[in-house]
Amino acid sequence: MAAQSKTMWFDPQLRAKSAELRETIRKLSDALCEHESASGLRKRARKDGDREKFAVAVEALACNLILLKAVATDALLAVPRSHNFIWQGTGRTNPVFGQHFLTSIDLLVSLGLITDKQRGYRVSAKVKVPSLIGPTDRLVEHLPIAPPDWRDVHQIDDPVLVILKEGKDIEGRAAAIPFAETARTKKFANQIRRINKSLREADIEVIGQSSSLSVGKDGQIIAPYRRSLRRIFNNGTWQHGGRLAGGFWMSMERSQRETIRVDGERIADVDYRQLFPRLAYVRAGQPQPEGDIYDVFGDSTGRDGCKKLMNALLFADGPLGNWPEDTRQHFPAGTKLRPAIEMLTARHAPIAKLFGRGLGFQLMRIESDILIEVITYLASVGVTALPLHDAVLVAESKAEIAAKAMRDVFERWSGSPCAIVSIRFPSKEQ
């Protein structure tokens, strides 16, 4: 695929926030229907239910295109077109998707309001190239995009709060698996619903944003309205994964997060240190080791490499045959993989039996349970916490409260008071 300056992934939850924009989009929807009828693309009028579905698809597309113009003039929008996604996968549970969604795109192309830049295709079972569309100069005749005001757009809660995926592909976009609702899945959804309600009512802003927005690492817009979370389980089992996803702060670079304000304050990053290996010690029934688990050499040499290698060993289902990506360069020159693993195994003999047994996703499930308990408790005492896998972002003045809550929750889960929780405050330049 040819390189693009930016690619934004379609968000089906975007809607018009202002009455004025809603009316503008209604007129666009009417124009598409009139064109469809006049060109003979449709012979009969839509039924009321189908008309509503068509209108909501047009609204979601219009709002995505408005945000796309707020990113960059040459940015493109990745949209789902595959039959598997829209009728069998994740898309089938969202009212935006269906034939009405594909028809909306085709009509926008037919009217010359967007261009069909690229049709998606599958490279392999895990690698897919997305379908890309982009706005034309004529779109300004139908939408307020000169300049676009992203504050006229908002995000409604995702109707699917719990997702079960087949596994992890290269881009983390594995297919979702349909599942029967049970007491357990209802409990998961209710937890996320309560968290989302708390986040929706919280005072969260990003400073320095005007008409221009940026796209995060997940291909989604970085804007404070994106605070509706969902929980994603992996490998077709409720025992793997369970991490939270969807928050705008999750796709920001660490340096960018210093622009976040919670309750008008700069944020502090309150982080569990070395959580995965510490959970492995709990699983092995062994006492927690003192000091930095990843400092195998004792002088911080190769610490980042030891961290990556240890986590790779915990996730691996069998012996490692090659260096994990971005790992070898952190070790002293000439270090071979096998001696590095033997050294790590000797240093952490109490949990060495867990290496190569595919434990990582189970530890991730425990990590996510712990973090959900932490942010739920903090919300109950009036502290807004933005989750980040094994950390939370909170207002500076609430950092110590969050750190104590994280230590207390870890002790309840592990029976050990040895949780290492660090607090990283933002630089004073911000």
Q: Tens digit of pLDDT for each residue in 77-127?
A: 999 998 777 876 666 778 899 999 999 999 999 999 999 999 887 665 555
Predicted confidence at residue 2, as pLDDT, reads: 38
Predicted confidence at residue 114, as pLDDT, reads: 97
Question: If pLDDT is split at 50, 70 and 90, which confidence band does 184 have?
Answer: very high
The alpha-helical segments, DSSP class H, found in 177-294 are 183-201, 275-283
What is the pLDDT averaged over residues 399-418?
90
Q: 139, exposed or middle or buried, with CB in 10 Å at 0-12, 13-18, 19+?
A: buried
β-partners of residue 270 are: 392, 423
CA dihedral sign, ordered 264, 266, 269, 270: negative
CB 248 within 8 A of CB 228: no
Pull the structure tokens for residue 335: 């270090």
How confident is the prediction for the chain on average, in pLDDT? 89
At 320 the three-state DSSP class reads: coil
Question: If pLDDT is split at 50, 70 and 90, which confidence band does 4 have?
Answer: very low
CB atoms within 10 A of CB 245: 16
74: pLDDT strictly greater than 80: yes
CA gap 221, 81 in Å, rounded: 21
What is the pLDDT averaged over residues 264-273?
95
pLDDT > 90 in the chain, percent = 66
Closest CA to 227 of 150, 153, 158, 152: 158
Predicted confidence at residue 217, as pLDDT, reads: 85
């630089």: which residue's tokens?
Answer: 427
At 14 the three-state DSSP class reads: strand
428: pLDDT strictly greater than 60: no
Predicted confidence at residue 89, as pLDDT, reads: 62
**What's CA 282's distance to the chain center, in Å?**
28
Question: If pLDDT is split at 50, 70 and 90, which confidence band does 430 have?
Answer: very low
Question: If pLDDT is split at 50, 70 and 90, which confidence band does 1 have?
Answer: very low
CA gap 27, 285 in Å, rounded: 64
Q: Where are the domains of the chain?
A: 7-154, 157-275+361-424
Predicted confidence at residue 243, as pLDDT, reads: 95
β-partners of residue 281 are: none
CA gap 277, 282 in Å, rounded: 9
CA gap 340, 350 in Å, rounded: 17
CA dihedral sign, ordered 34, 35, 41, 46: negative
Predicted confidence at residue 172, as pLDDT, reads: 54
How does pLDDT run across 231-267, given as a tens digit for each residue?
Answer: 999 999 999 999 999 999 999 988 889 999 999 999 9
CA gap 362, 31 in Å, rounded: 52
429: pLDDT strictly greater than 50: no
At 339 the three-state DSSP class reads: helix
How does pLDDT run across 319-334, given as a tens digit for each residue?
Answer: 998 999 999 999 888 8
What is the pLDDT averaged over residues 341-355?
94
What would the DSSP string read from start to end of 32-94? HHHHHHHTTS-SSPPPHHHHHHHHHHHHHHHHHHHHHHHH-TT-EEEE---HIIIIISGGGGS
Question: If pLDDT is split at 50, 70 and 90, which confidence band does 288 have?
Answer: confident
Question: If pLDDT is split at 50, 70 and 90, which confidence band does 3 have?
Answer: very low
What is the pLDDT averaged over residues 178-202?
95
Predicted confidence at residue 91, as pLDDT, reads: 63
Question: If pLDDT is split at 50, 70 and 90, which confidence band does 210 have?
Answer: low
Predicted confidence at residue 5, as pLDDT, reads: 53
297 vs 161, higher pLDDT: 161
